């Protein structure tokens, strides 16, 4: 996710800097920042959905029709 985007962004920014054209450098940096923000936003949304499914499973015993209850149950450990 973010690590792969950082590597790709670093390579693209290095290529843009090697051209010496300011508009290409700025455009590449802006595109990288926007892609990074979009990835962070998507990751936060998915984390919220997963947390809601875990909460629903913990309180109601069912995660919802979009989630496999057996997989969600694996997130919980029995304390020894």
Of residues 4, 11, 2, 14, the one with CA closest to residue 38: 2
Q: What pLDDT score does 31 carry?
A: 96
Q: What is the pTM of this model?
A: 0.72
Distance separating alpha carbons of residues 13 and 2, to the nearest angstrom: 16
Q: Is the pLDDT of residue 71 over 90?
A: no
Token pair for 22: 């300011």
Q: What is the CA radius of gyration of the chain?
A: 20
Q: According to the model, what pLDDT value does residue 28 have?
A: 96
The pLDDT, as a whole number, for residue 40 is: 94
| Residue 80 confidence (pLDDT) | 67
In tens, the pLDDT along 16-49 reads 999 999 999 999 999 999 999 999 999 999 999 9
**In contact, 39 and 5? CB cutoff 8 Å:** yes
């Amino acid at each position: 996710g973010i690590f792969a985007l950082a590597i790709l962004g670093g390579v693209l920014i290095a290529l843009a800097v090697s051209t010496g054209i300011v508009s290409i450098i700025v455009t590449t940096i802006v595109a990288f920042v926007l892609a990074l923000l979009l990835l962070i936003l998507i990751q936060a949304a998915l984390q919220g959905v997963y947390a809601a499914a875990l909460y629903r499973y913990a309180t109601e015993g069912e995660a919802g029709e979009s989630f496999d209850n057996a997989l969600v149950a694996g997130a919980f450990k029995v304390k020894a």
